[in-house]
Amino acid sequence: MNVDDIFKMPKLPVSSNKRRMPDMPTPDMLKKMRMDAGAGPSSEASSTRNGAPAQGPSRAATVEDVDEEMEDGMDRDFAPGGDADYFAEEDEEGRFFGGGLSREQKEILNIFDKDVSEGVHEDLEEMNLPAARRLLLRFERAEMKNQDQRSKYPDDPTKFIDSEADLDLALKALLPLAQAPTIAYPELVSSGAIARLIGLLSHENADIVIDVVEVIHELTDEDVGNEAEDEEEEEGKREEALKMLMEGLLENSILELLVDNLKRLNEAEEADRQGVFHILAIFENFIAFKPELSSLLMTKTKILEWLLTRIQAKEHDDNRGYAGELLSILLQNNRENRLALGKQDGIEVMLKVLSQYRRRDPVDAEETEFMENVFDTLCSALGEPENKKLFLDSEGVDLMVLMLKEKKQSRSRSIKVLDYAMSGPAGTQCCEVFVEALGLKTLFSTFMGKLSKKNKTQTEDISHTLGIVASLFSNLASDSAARIRLLAKFVENTYEKTDKLLEIRDAAQGRLTETEKEIEQEKKGLEAAGEEVDQDTQELWYLQRLDGGLFTLQTVDYILAWVAMEDDGIRAHIQTMLGRRDKSLKDIVKTLEVYRDNVDEDPSAKDSDEPTQKEILQHLINFLDAC
């Protein structure tokens, strides 16, 4: 039994969507803890790791008010670790003791207490320019002293252990600089502190490195300085200050140094595990601020290799989940990164990781999020034709069909992957293998499920299923056995799947009607205000229609047009059912015309002998018009 697990504090929700890990105490937290607990005198320096002071994780405890009076003759120095509150919280079994603060926390409190003349308390109350300069000067002196002591006594840790502890405290004291980025960040850049800070990423003591990445993580957070009262006025200044800081960090090769430290840290140690988490968070901060840095990160470092290795870990933890999320971010709308993933056998790795969810579900919400991120990464990669061939060679289609047959959480995600893999001319082979792997039967069992407006997952499944069927009609060769099997699905059981298409069409048409009403009201508002409807507004409305039912309607009518053209019986059934709704094939034609006028052609498709999507749509329109 792990005693620590029994007394774990529950996770608190955070306002931001970004991942968070319990950090070391902030100065404000420590001040409050001191007021509550009355921290004792400073303890001696902690034991060393790699010849330097170790910075282990703090032990959480409940701090209660205690009677400061002690028995006459009691020697406070007798308390272990110099903890004056040792006896205050000891129970009958002697399990709980101390003031609730670790040695490291007490050291941080003491640096705020011991030299009032230097203005540390003032620095905490209000971060102004003089306060920032004092913190940076204190850091510079601590760093120079430690460097000097290490160079003089490289083989005697006892000679530089004190300077290492001072450097550790000076680094943690830099955290409040994030409270006032417009003041502190320009000073960070102009003083040369950035180069000094980045230089410590190569420090012999891994705990100093962890301190540095924690500071950089805090300084580069997108929410820095948000506590300012006049946020709107300060927004531009904050962004400019953050840009200045990040450019300074990039000039000092921070990305390469951080990736090097990922391999150096041992996640079996709690402090190192947090250090890895902070490094991944720094990468996310940089990409969020400047998305084009994702290409630089992939080309200049070996981050992809590390991420692919990390997500293959057998046991799931926070850092494995974060690695999966960062990988997904790196591939968003970035062809170069997607191709790099394929060249590094990333498709094979993705399928290997996902195969474990074929017969079991993730154990908790965190692992579910990880699984979804890996599926999203695979979908992003399949946006490139080159990766579809790799997906096919790695038997990805077969794995997804197997997942379809299992009633697990991975089932709906596998439908999404197949939709991406089978789309476009490059998906032709995937379509053929899908039919050969007997995927039609399982796919249409999902397709025939009951429609529910409240079930978002089911709605997405239907949308991706329609996409797969549309790709099958586009890519399977005419008169091929696979195409005949596909067409037969819409005939069997007295056209039940054709009726299902019409049912989905009605639902999509209803949603689109409501969307059109909203757009019409918005248009009247613009006309009343005397504003013209420009091209950008028209495109925005079209996207709004797509999201409001038009996309589903276009896909359904595309499939209906194909089955009506290829089978006379199905066409007659469709005309009968549409007539009962006071509609006809002309309504399908109108939808396809809008689809044709707004379709984005792939430039590479023009050089192919295969008909383009626009040409296929025009052919279908011509046939239905003639009926």
- Residue 233 pLDDT: 58
Q: Say if residues 508 and 500 touch (Cβ distance below 8 Å).
A: no
Residue pair 384/342 in contact by the 8 Å Cβ criterion: yes
Q: Residue 467, exposed/middle/buried by CB under 10 A (0-12, 13-18, 19+)?
A: buried
> Which residues sit opposite 49 in a β-bridge?
52
Please report where in the chains the tokens 């028995």 appear, as a residue.
71
Q: Give the residue among 470, 555, 553 at the shortest CA–CA distance from 508.
A: 553
Strand partners, 53: 48
Residue 244 burial (CB count, 10 A): 17
Angstrom distance (rounded) from CA 462 to CA 511? 15
What is the helix (H) or strand (E) element at residue 585, kind and residue range?
helix 585-598
Residue 277: CB atoms within 10 A of its CB come to 23
d(CA 196, CA 176): 18
Write the DSSP assignment of 411-467 as a string of letters: HHHHHHHHHHHHSSGGGHHHHHHHHHTTHHHHHHHHHTSPP-SS-HHHHHHHHHHHH
Among 473, 471, 480, which Cα is nearest to 397's? 471
CA of residue 560 relative to chain centroid, distance: 38
Residues in the chain: 627
pLDDT for 459 equals: 81
Q: Note the Cα 43 to chain centre separation in Å.
A: 40
Q: Which residues share a beta bridge with 52?
A: 49
DSSP 58: P
Concatenating the DSSP letter of every residue in 146-187 gives HHHHHHH-TT-HHHHHHHHHHHHHHHHTTGGGGG-HHHHHHH
Sequence-distant (6+) residues with CB within 8 A of 407 are: none
Q: What is the pLDDT of residue 70?
A: 39
In degrees and rounded to multiples of 5, residue 478 shows phi and psi of -60, 140
DSSP calls for 335-398: HHHHHHHHHTTHHHHHHHHHHTTSSS--SSHHHHHHHHHHHHHHHHHTTSHHHHHHHHHTTHHH
Task: Kindly state the helix (H) or strand (E) to which residue 312 belongs, with its residue range.
Answer: none
For residue 227, the model assigns a pLDDT of 57
The whole-angstrom separation of Cα 145 and Cα 196 is 13
With a cut of 50, list the residues of the chain below it in pLDDT: 1-16, 22-24, 30-31, 33-48, 50-99, 112, 115-124, 229
- What residue type is assigned to position 577 of the chain? M
Amino acid (1-letter code) at residue 212: V
Tokens 């996770």 correspond to what residue? 11
- Burial profile 416-428: b = 16 or more Cβ within 10 angstroms, e = fewer: bbbbbbbbbbbbb
Distance CA 86, CA 38 (A): 12
d(CA 549, CA 511): 5
What are the two backbone dihedrals, phi and then psi, of residue 611, each rounded to the nearest 5 degrees?
Answer: -65, 145
The pair of three-digit structure tokens given for residue 179, joined into one six-digit string:
């409270």
- Helices (H), ranges, 476-584: 481-489, 492-528, 535-545, 551-566, 568-580
CA atoms within 13 A on the CB side of 526: 12
State how far the Cα of 306 lies from the Cα of 426, in Å rounded to an integer.
Answer: 30
Query: Which amino acid, 170?
Result: A
Question: Treating both helix axes as pointing N-terminal to C-terminal, what angle do 346-355 and 335-343 enclose, rounded to 10 degrees?
Answer: 80
DSSP bridge pairs for 48 = 53
3-state class (DSSP) for residue 159: helix
In contact, 189 and 246? CB cutoff 8 Å? no
Q: Is residue 279 a contact partner of residue 262, using CB atoms and an 8 Å limit?
A: yes
> Which SS3 state, helix, strand or coil, does residue 53 take?
strand
The enclosing H or E element of 52 equals strand 52-53
Which residues make Cβ contacts (< 8 Å) with residue 352, sequence separation at least 6? 312
Give pLDDT, residue 154. Answer: 86
